[in-house]
Amino acid sequence: MKIGRQIIRPTLVLTAITVASVFLLSHVERLAGPIIIKRARQKQEAALSLVLPGYIVLSSRTIAVDGVEFTYWEAEKKVENRTVRAYAFLTKGTGYGGDMVMMAGVDEKGEVLGLSIISQSETPGLGDRCLEVADRETLWDHLKGGIPERDFSDATRIPWFQNQFKGLDANEKIQIVKRGDWEPGMRDGLLEINAISAITGATITSAGVVRGLESGLDRLRRAREAAAAEQTGGIR
């Protein structure tokens, strides 16, 4: 009898704890769900603004490409009384730590307008430097004094690794070279060979972003062709 009580009491306590834990977790998930969705939407909108600078987003479409859903956005802007179009899309690349989700923008001629890495799980201090914002101030600047007020606008806060993708030709293969941390003075030389400079010690991460971008560009082309075929097929 005493043994039975010794077994039943811990079992009841454990059951009560389990039920309470499940209830609390479901309650937290219900409360946190809308917040998580809102933050994801805000992150997506910020990425769209970054990869489509100066453009007005018109619409988004999701089309199956190779059996996988592919989402892209259409945008436009006026340039000298002419309307030019551009496209943004979500894509994935495989880095050292797994999938990297990114958004990229490209204009109608195939020039990359921008790239934003939305999520990644790369090695701290190595691959995760793909999100590092370069600080061009030096110790000498501080010793001299008179440092101008910092500019925290989006244009200056773009991570240096992502910044170098702007201006690349999406119609050509993107090369990967090792020239150290990218800085504005390297832009013209790298664009001449349609290349980016890899993150030191994180070539796999750098290659994963490039291959993910190229894969996304290919899917964008096929998605647009499929969308055009749908429209043509709908005309009678």
Q: Are residues 139 and 174 in the same domain?
A: yes
pLDDT attached to residue 44: 75
The answer to whether 182 touches 164, Cβ cutoff 8 Å, is yes
Cα dihedral sign, 127-92-213-61: negative
Residue 97 structure tokens? 């730590």
Looking at the structure, do residues 91 and 22 belong to the same domain, yes or no? no
Examine the domain organization and report whether 12 and 64 are in the same domain. Answer: no
In the predicted structure, residue 234 carries a pLDDT above the cut 90: no
On whether the CB atoms of residues 94 and 212 are closer than 8 A, the answer is yes
Top-confidence residue, 29 or 143: 29
Alpha-carbon distance of 224 to 211, in angstroms, equals 20
Q: Could you tell me how far CA 27 lies from the centroid of its own chain?
A: 31
Q: Are residues 130 and 41 in the same domain?
A: no
Q: Residue 119: what pLDDT? A: 92
CA torsion sign for 29, 30, 35, 38 is positive
CA separation for the pair 153, 170 (Å, rounded)? 27
Mean pLDDT within 41-69: 88
Tell me the mean pLDDT in the region 142-156.
44
In this structure, the strands spanning 195-197 and 112-119 are: unpaired
For tokens 């495989």, what's the residue?
94
In this predicted structure, the answer to whether residue 225 has a pLDDT above a threshold of 70 is yes
46 and 74 share a domain? no
pLDDT at 149 over 60: no
Q: Are residues 40 and 65 in the same domain?
A: no
Cβ neighbours of 152 (radius 10 Å): 9
Q: Residue 141: is its pLDDT beyond 70? A: no
What does the pLDDT read at residue 7?
A: 66
Q: What is the pTM of this model?
A: 0.74
Same domain for 108 and 150? yes
> What is the pLDDT confidence band of residue 79, given thresholds at 50, 70 and 90?
confident
Contact 100, 93 (CB under 8 A): yes
| 106 and 13 together in one domain | no
> Lowest mean pLDDT: which of 45-54, 79-88, 154-163?
154-163
Q: How many residues does the chain have?
A: 236
Which of 14-18, 84-88, 121-125, 168-172 shows the lowest per-residue confidence on average (mean pLDDT)?
Answer: 14-18
Q: How many structural domains comprise the chain?
A: 2
Do 31 and 112 share a structural domain? no
Q: Do 20 and 117 belong to one domain?
A: no
Domain identity same for 35 and 152? no
* Tokens at 71, concatenated: 């989402």
CA 29, 34, 36, 40 torsion-angle sign: positive
Boundaries of domain holding 224: 52-234
Q: Which of 69-73, 165-169, 189-193, 206-210 has the lowest mean pLDDT?
A: 69-73
